[in-house]
Structure 1
Amino acid sequence: MPAPATKLRIKSPALLVAESGADRAGHGLKRTMGLFQLICFGVGAIVGTGIFVGLSDSVAQAGPAVVVSFVLAAITCVFTALSFAELGGAIPVSGSSYSFAYAGLGETTAFLVGWCLLLEYGISISAVAVGWSQYVNELLDSLFGHQLPAALSAGPGDGGFVNLPAVIVIAMACVLLVRGVRESARATAAMAAVKLTILLAFCVIGYSAFKDGNLTPFSPAGLGGIGAGTTAAFFSYIGFDAITTAGEEAKNPRRDIPVAILVCMGVVTLLYCAVALAAIGAIGADEVGGRPAALSYVVNRVTGSSIGGAVVAFGAVVAIASVVLAVMYGQSRILMSMSRDGLVPRVFEKVSPRTSTPVAGTLIIAIVFAIPAAFASLDAVVNLCTIGTLAVMAVVNLAVLALRRREPGLNRTFRVPFYPVAPLLGIGFCLYLMYETGWTTWLQFAVFLAVGLGVYAAYGRRHSRLATTAAAPSATVATEVAEAMAAGTLTAELTADVVEAAR
């Protein structure tokens, strides 16, 4: 195992696991999540704004061929999901793609990945909360015939003053998260069951009114429309990688994390395609495309009553709330890992001894991202979230390639099939969808990365604990750790030796 302070400041998988305490008892986080909870957590992180709010945007771009767009977006995610599954089982820590990049490509890349995760997790908290506000109004309208005043349910960009419901859902998620992971996991499982039930009921209603003629013309905008629809549909899959942020709180992360990722991707892809076909087949792409709260509208049209639409709206409210909870969880764990490494302030790594959660970090995240949720538009951040997430996914695929070469003996409970073709295809699909976001988004992303490099140069590089390590772990201890990881027998005593040596 190389010394941690290499030219690229690469941190070995053994040291990442040892410093996190992921293979020992007594560290700050508690192992409370089994396979079922991980799957529910994954579904909770994925199914939400993308299908309940974003479906209409994808249909507006691709027409009935939106099903192809969903499949292409899923293929992009599946290749990367395989890479996440391999790395999540081999390096079961809270840092997810940030830690994977640290082990495979070095500190600078890892910091930029963590910076981009502010888009996937942090900014998307704001975006998802804005989508939640739309369905709250739809639910109120269905039940009582009235909505919240625009001044209190939309930001200035959408004709209002402050989006109060968006702030409220972030606050509710924050309260659940600081109470404890067990409580959050139970809430996520319950919400996942509710929204899956409602989406399946939607499919039953939609297919009862299905007309073949509504699927023609199948691709009115041609391949360009399908490509644009794929980029829009990709937002519906953001969040599956959040499963890997539970590496330190899963009971058996090396086995369960890969399984949970693959099960979630399969279930969600089938569900999305079924929902899209049901909606378009029932009333046609022209009526679905560009319509807010499209699923509620479809049910109201088919049933001739507002009751069904109210049920769907309730499902959307639950579904989107669960996404806010899951992505806020993921963001807090990413920042906790970066804080351990000295790349962000230490407040984010502090874990409450009472609740075993990073209370201070979670509160900061809630406050910071409630501000854009209150005043920004959903459309203003979706493309930026998408391109940042795609960039992270491309790096994770690169990390698989790098670690296969550098750490051939790493204990991999799951291995990417068809290596190296699968990760290379994952990179290619990610780059294609990044291209489809358009030059304006690329310009915004370039500025965002430049700011990130500035923050790293001004703070992260100077405070990096890897760079200021007085001495690397001894060759003997390093060899023992590498061998123990390969055998899956890393002990508390050996972990303590590594942590002490690294400090």
Structure 2
Amino acid sequence: MISARNLLRVKPAEQLSSEGSHSALSRTLGLVPLVALSVGATLGTGIFVVLAEAAPAAGPAVVISFVLAGVAALCSALSYAELAGSVPVSGSAYSYTYATLGEIVAWICGWCLLLEYGVSVAAVAVGWGGYLNEFLQGTIGMAIPEALSAPPGEGGVVNIPAALVVLMATAVLMKGVRESAWVTTITTLLKIAVLVFFVAVAFTGFRSGNMAPFAPTGFAGISVGASAVFFSFIGFDAASTAGEEARNPKRDMPRAIVLSLLIVTAIYVLVSFAAVGAVGSDALGDSEASLATALRVVTGQGWPAVILSLGAVIAIASVVLTVLYGQTRILVAMSRDGLMPKMFSKVNHRLVPSRNTLLVGGVVALLASVVPLNQLAEATSIGTLIAFGLVNIGVVILRRTRPELPRGFKTPLMPIVPLLGLGLCLYLITGLDSITWLAFAIWTAVGLAVYFGYGMRKSQLNDTAAPVE
């Protein structure tokens, strides 16, 4: 018989932390790699890909959409930072929710995170194919045929470049966390350099007329744009998935989360302002490789677009790498708790959860090859917003129920900031399409079936809680 006691049982923060401190994973990451991990997982996802989706909806006010989404993300980031310093394990929001709201809510949160991370990797991979074609067109005058570079429904049969970049990232992850961190740091620095190059060139073609009317669709358009570009802020929480591979997680993880979000928000606002001012919001929606197109319009030459496209090809690949890393570590935590099969937490001689990584990489590669970009982006946003909302609730509960718990960081203005973060998440989620809600409802129903059929019976807390009959 299913009882409320089983569904709402909480895993104490000390137990989660103890299990994390005895993890088979290797503690090799300092503050710089953790910041690079979060920036690498975030920066590029929106600017290189989703700007083309949001700019036509909001007009030039898409800049405000980025600010609104950034504020919403910052409130949640401060909550993440406190919980990351209190419960320094690999499970991110899943583990934080397990320590505060109970097992069934933690399962739903973890299930949302699997949607968020897996689908976002696929979405970014689809955008990567657009920039790869832009680069090939500008260098050798050829591009991959649409039948092999676009999914069904967008003129193609299968998106081979999207699947390829996921498989390449999977191969890097199989080498080990130290090697993955090195690749992430290099590609993140390259990504920032490419975006600085874009801003410098785009401002040479800035026209004030492109900024008017500033908000042609009013605040409704800004809101829709913010809901869309919120997708571009997922990833700042990637550092929270590295809790068992950080050298000093209580100190460095909160810092990495907040620093990475501030860096990303500043760059997003600057780049979107330069892009809209250079070519106008409507022109940005004409191509998946919108920034490269903007440079071609501004300069009348192909070489700046080629440089940007090459940078985007490398940089977006790093997003795939870091977000894929995050998903595998969340599965490690869920597996260790017994809610997922044990195979997901077993590591090889390189201290890599190899079976987990290979399975996730294969599923995401398949998803990226056949699903259109806009459907992937919105499905990611809804999973993200729900996970963030639960984290904001969790930080308030843990502060009240466990005030004595050591914390490496404390969310300011408690409980105003987390409640504001929760409210903004609820507000942004209303801007998503009904088809997105339908897909999420189906995903949640499948997740609950898995939990009641497997996870609840296999949970490690069964040893300390009432048995499930």
Using the size of structure 1 for normalisation, the TM-score is 0.90
AA partner of residue 38 (structure 1): L
Moved over 2 A (4+): 289-292, 468-471
AA partner of residue 15 (structure 1): Q
Where do residues 140-151 of structure 1 align in structure 2 (5 Å cutoff)?
140-151=136-147
1:431 is aligned to 426
2:16 is aligned to 16
Judging changes above 3 Å, is the alpha-carbon distance between structure 1 residues 450 and 6 closer, same or farther for their aligned structure 2 residues? Answer: closer
AA partner of residue 36 (structure 1): V
Contact 2:79 2:395 in 1 (8 A): yes
Residue deviations 1:359-400 (CA, integer Å, cap 9, x gap) = 111001011111111111111221111011100000000110
Where do residues 209-220 of structure 1 align in structure 2 (5 Å cutoff)?
209-220=205-216
Contact 1:143 1:310 in 2 (8 A): yes
**Are residues 1:407 and 2:433 paired?**
no
- Return the offset for 1:57: 1.3
2:50 is aligned to 54
Q: 1:271 pairs with 242, 248, 267, which one? A: 267
Q: Distance in 1 between matches of 2:355 and 2:271?
A: 39
Q: Distance in 1 between matches of 2:455 and 2:284?
A: 46
2:224 is aligned to 228
Q: 2:316 pairs with 310, 317, 320, which one? A: 320
Partner secondary structure for residue 432 of structure 1:
helix
AA partner of residue 440 (structure 1): I
AA partner of residue 384 (structure 1): A
Q: Distance in 2 between matches of 1:84 and 1:318?
A: 29
- Return the offset for 1:408: 1.1
Structure 1 residue runs of 5 or longer lacking an equivalent are: 472-503
Partner secondary structure for residue 104 of structure 1:
coil
Using the size of structure 2 for normalisation, the TM-score is 0.96
Q: Distance in 2 between matches of 1:403 and 1:79?
A: 17
2:304 is aligned to 308
Q: Distance in 2 between matches of 1:118 and 1:220?
A: 36
Contact 1:9 1:467 in 2 (8 A): no
1:163 is aligned to 159
Where do residues 356-435 of structure 1 align in structure 2 (5 Å cutoff)?
356-435=351-430
2:115 is aligned to 119
Q: Distance in 1 between matches of 2:160 and 2:436?
A: 28
Partner secondary structure for residue 331 of structure 1:
helix
2:461 is aligned to 466
Contact 1:57 1:290 in 2 (8 A): no
Q: 2:238 pairs with 239, 242, 250, which one? A: 242
Number of matched residues? 463
Contact 2:76 2:392 in 1 (8 A): yes
Q: Distance in 2 between matches of 1:413 and 1:470?
A: 30
- Return the offset for 1:447: 2.1
AA partner of residue 447 (structure 1): I
AA partner of residue 363 (structure 2): V
Partner secondary structure for residue 286 of structure 1:
helix
Judging changes above 3 Å, is the alpha-carbon distance between structure 1 residues 86 and 470 closer, same or farther for their aligned structure 2 residues? Answer: closer
Judging changes above 3 Å, is the alpha-carbon distance between structure 1 residues 345 and 299 closer, same or farther for their aligned structure 2 residues? Answer: same
Q: Distance in 1 between matches of 2:439 and 2:192?
A: 35
- Return the offset for 1:61: 0.8
- Calculate the aligned-residue CA RMSD, in Å: 1.5
- Return the offset for 1:455: 1.1
Q: Distance in 1 between matches of 2:71 and 2:346?
A: 38
AA partner of residue 435 (structure 2): T
Q: Distance in 1 between matches of 2:265 and 2:55?
A: 16
- Return the offset for 1:157: 2.1
- Return the offset for 1:454: 1.2
Partner secondary structure for residue 99 of structure 2:
helix
Residue deviations 1:475-502 (CA, integer Å, cap 9, x gap) = xxxxxxxxxxxxxxxxxxxxxxxxxxxx
Larger gyration radius, structure 1 or structure 2 = 1
- Return the offset for 1:248: 0.7
AA partner of residue 418 (structure 2): P
Q: 2:201 pairs with 181, 198, 205, which one? A: 205
- Return the offset for 1:7: 6.5
- Return the offset for 1:338: 0.4
Q: 2:40 pairs with 44, 60, 75, which one? A: 44
Judging changes above 3 Å, is the alpha-carbon distance between structure 1 residues 50 and 7 closer, same or farther for their aligned structure 2 residues? Answer: closer
Partner secondary structure for residue 382 of structure 2:
helix
Contact 2:7 2:103 in 1 (8 A): no
- Return the offset for 1:444: 2.1
AA partner of residue 79 (structure 2): S
Contact 1:49 1:320 in 2 (8 A): yes
Partner secondary structure for residue 116 of structure 1:
helix
- Return the offset for 1:469: 4.1
Contact 2:122 2:364 in 1 (8 A): yes
AA partner of residue 17 (structure 1): S
Contact 2:49 2:124 in 1 (8 A): no
Mean Cα deviation higher: 331-340 or 436-445? 436-445
Residue deviations 1:198-232 (CA, integer Å, cap 9, x gap) = 10010001111212121110001111110111011
Structure 2 residue runs of 5 or longer lacking an equivalent are: none
Partner secondary structure for residue 157 of structure 1:
coil
Contact 2:126 2:368 in 1 (8 A): yes
